[in-house]
Amino acid sequence: MGFASEDLEHQLAVSAERRPSLVVRNARVLTCDQQWTEWADADIVVDGGRIVAIGPGAASPIEVSARDIDASGRLALPGMVNTHFHSPGNFLKGAVPSLPLELFMLFEVPPFMPEPVSSKYAYLRTLLGAVEMLRQGVTSVHDDAFFLPVATRDEISAVMQAYADAGMRATVAIDQPNLVEYEKHAFLAEILPPAVRARMESAPRQGDAELLEIYRWFLGATGVRAGCGPRCRVRPRNGSPRPTCAVSPNSAMPPTSRTTCTSSRPAASGSSVTPGTGCRWSGTRRPAACSANGAR
């Protein structure tokens, strides 16, 4: 037995010409519910971005159309979640040989990078990773993004915009240390030549106050002390395209902490999502920041 919402029944009753936005037929469906329900031959009906019916024969009342997807011989299951990702490393594939982590990071996080990349570069770099994940069935990601040599509003906004345009749900963290690179790795300072250490020390990096200001901007709550958890809930606010983030205004945030904000496909004004599952906003403007809206 499958599931059919009242929405679908109402649509079919009102007009025979009213079609859901997507109909998938004849798929092998693994629901991943608590009972691990599996159907060898089932349909999936999607309308307005929501699954309104699923199960054997769920699409039988709907007239067959050339736009329908025949999923015979294919497996349909809920989107997978990538829980650990670094989008700034997307262009490094094949560029660095297999190395121990500490050595690899000297290539991944170059200590001599003189200036931030352009917004377009950051956007395309992030979009590439999103497209690759979507092609593999990953529809949600936690992106622990670092920014070299410093975090900028333009680059952070470009990352968020790429995920919004890709249509996938993303939780993005500002993972921004403010230490000299050799201080992060045991014994590295001892083995580096003095000239190399000097170059590392002179590389741009942000102080505590500047990083805190970036975090506050990211949360959209200037002057608010934020102790943000591993992610923040985002909802539209008064029809504004800027997402609203719920954070816990507890203690001052350490400068090397990670703050997060979520993004998803833009939705109609006034929409909402289940707490903790992601974010929607109206319009197409860049989701540059979140704003504090009470504790969670």
Q: Which one, of 212, 109, 114, 218, lies nearest residue 157 by Cα?
A: 218
Residue 291 forms part of a structural domain:
no
The number of folded domains in the chain is 2
Q: pLDDT by residue (tens digit) across 158-188?
A: 999 999 999 999 999 888 888 888 888 888 8
Instruction: Please tell me whether residues 23 and 108 are part of one structural domain.
Output: no
Residue 16 forms part of a structural domain:
yes
Instruction: Please tell me whether residues 108 and 20 are part of one structural domain.
Output: no
Q: pLDDT by residue (tens digit) across 67-122?
A: 999 999 999 999 999 999 999 999 888 888 888 887 788 787 777 788 899 999 99
Residue 22 forms part of a structural domain:
yes
Instruction: Please tell me whether residues 87 and 147 are part of one structural domain.
Output: yes
Residue 295 forms part of a structural domain:
no
Instruction: Please tell me whether residues 10 and 120 are part of one structural domain.
Output: no
Residue 240 has pLDDT above 80, yes or no: no
Q: What is the mean pLDDT of the chain?
A: 74
* pLDDT, mean of residues 117-144: 96
Structural domain boundaries enclosing 70: 3-76
Q: With left for phi above 0 and alpha for psi between -120 and 50, is residue 223 left, alpha or beta? A: left
Instruction: Please tell me whether residues 33 and 102 are part of one structural domain.
Output: no
Which pLDDT score, from 0 to 100, does residue 137 have? 93
Residue 226 forms part of a structural domain:
yes
Residue type, 265: R
The C-alpha torsion from 215 through 219 and 220 to 226, rounded to 10°, is -80
Instruction: Please tell me whether residues 53 and 101 are part of one structural domain.
Output: no
CATH number at residue 45: 2.30.40.10
Instruction: Please tell me whether residues 116 and 238 are part of one structural domain.
Output: yes
Residue 290 forms part of a structural domain:
no
Instruction: Please tell me whether residues 72 and 151 are part of one structural domain.
Output: no
Which stretch of DSSP H or E encloses residue 8? helix 6-14
Supply the pTM of this predicted model.
0.67
Instruction: Please tell me whether residues 132 and 253 are part of one structural domain.
Output: yes
Q: Which one, of 247, 238, 251, 248, lies nearest residue 281 by Cα?
A: 238
Output DSSP code: residue 292: B
Instruction: Please tell me whether residues 56 and 107 are part of one structural domain.
Output: no
